[in-house]
Structure 1
Amino acid sequence: MTDHPKFPDLWDDPADAWSSRSPERAEFSQRRWVWEAMEPAERIQRLNGLAAWVKWLRNRHELHNEIPACWYRHPPVVERLTALYAGYVRTYMAPSPGRDHAEIEWIHALSSLLPQLKRPGCSGGHHDPPHRKRDQAAAGEDFEEFLQAQWPTTAPVTHPAEAEVAHLDPPL
């Protein structure tokens, strides 16, 4: 097992992809991990790269119980792993001027996201999460009714400290 994952050839030079200020690189950097903004072929390529990294991550950090084998079937997990991957590349593959503790920050980010990566229902194999029963049209109507009739839009204007300052003489 190697110390660092074998990164897919998504960049000619990973450090250059992060440090270059060219307009082409800036545009690429802004959209590079927005899954919906990728062409299907690019999604497949990047998902394969992410999968190689996640395999390394699960082994290196002994996260088999925290990151389910079916992580790619859970969009919220994919998004969090994508953020961790991008952060990993920035931290370990590119210079981090002014970030003396970048590695510690990345490890902290990993630790803070672990509870959100876990899918207890998938510990014995993949299980789709239950579908949410939510009528979007009704939710929109409910929100509009809330705006028309509830506290945030109908309460009179008051200041929380108004009673406390009412007895004080105003300054000259």
Structure 2
Amino acid sequence: MSEDPYARIPLPDEEPAPEDAGASSEAGEPGIAPAGVDGDGVLPSVEELVLDHDGQLGQLRADVDGLAGLVGDLLQKPPAEKPAPWNWKELNGSGRAALLTELRQWVDWYNGRYGVTTDSRILGCWYRHGPVVEELIGVWIAWRAAYYGDKTLNDAPAYWHERILWPAIARITKSNWGLSACIPAHKDPRPKSEPSTDDEFTSFISTLDGRAGT
């Protein structure tokens, strides 16, 4: 039987069939290895897969820990317009009583530890002196920052002793506004008859309205 000369000629509406359609789908695009296969066509070992998986988990843990630290910092730091819990000026009566009670515990500890001489001891009337209270709040807060919440070795305790504690104690015990006049008994050096701001303040403020800075 003779071969049909028209059998291999495609019709006008037909496209020629690919020579090897199955080979193309199995091998994939040239230069691109199937998933899980390296550039040489070799499947990774189970050990390599486990190490890669562990590495990804380790990075994920580090990212999560970093985010947790940021969130913790945000929770500990109040907004800028919100006063800190040791801001004496912004505390009400019960807030001041609570702060003084906690500060008293620290002062008692300090005197038992450091108050061995007249120059280093905080006198018992410290809570009656506003400036002394403010100084002690600052020293106490700095002490907490130096001795709490950090497990890494650092020089914060040494810095607290040298640059914060002893300069503040010197001011408290030797200054006229401090405790220098309270031996043998408490004496408040604050003048009682003089106002902190005289009556001309309101008039002076009114002269500043609408005026350029001077």
**What do the CA deviations read for 1:91-147 (whole angstroms, capped 9, x no partner)?**
1112176x7210111101111111211112112111111406356236759x99xxx
Provide structure 2 residue ranges, at least 5 long, that are not aligned to the other structure. 1-70, 174-178, 206-213
Provide structure 1 residue ranges, at least 5 long, that are not aligned to the other structure. 1-18, 145-152, 154-172
Which residue number in structure 2 is paired with residue 47 of structure 1? 100
Map residues 1-172 of structure 1 onto 2, 5 A cutoff.
Answer: 20-23=72-75, 25-27=76-78, 30-62=83-115, 65=118, 66=120, 67-95=122-150, 100-108=154-162, 109-118=164-173, 119-131=179-191, 133=194, 136-137=197-198, 140=201
**Residues 128 and 107 (structure 1 numbering): CA distance in 2 closer, same or farther, change over 3 Å?**
same
Give me the whole-angstrom Cα distance separating, in 1, the residues matched to 2:167 and 2:191.
26
Give me the whole-angstrom Cα distance separating, in 1, the residues matched to 2:144 and 2:196.
40
Conserved 8 A contact 1:96-1:102: no
- The CA RMSD measured in Å over matched residues stands at 3.1
* Identity %, equivalent residues: 24
Measured after TM superposition, the shift of residue 40 of structure 1 is 2.1
Conserved 8 A contact 1:71-1:78: yes
Q: Which amino acid aligns with 1:94?
A: G
**What do the CA deviations read for 1:23-62 (whole angstroms, capped 9, x no partner)?**
4x32289511101222322221111010010011011012
Measured after TM superposition, the shift of residue 82 of structure 1 is 0.3
Give me the whole-angstrom Cα distance separating, in 2, the residues matched to 1:78 and 1:48.
12
SS at match of 2:86: coil
Count residues with an aligned counterpart: 126
Give me the whole-angstrom Cα distance separating, in 2, the residues matched to 1:73 and 1:101.
33
Measured after TM superposition, the shift of residue 20 of structure 1 is 3.2
TM-score (norm 1): 0.61
Question: Which entry has the higher C-alpha Rg, 1 or 2?
Answer: 2
Give me the whole-angstrom Cα distance separating, in 2, the residues matched to 1:83 and 1:56.
16
Greater RCO structure (CA 8 Å; 6+ sep):
1
Conserved 8 A contact 2:83-2:90: no
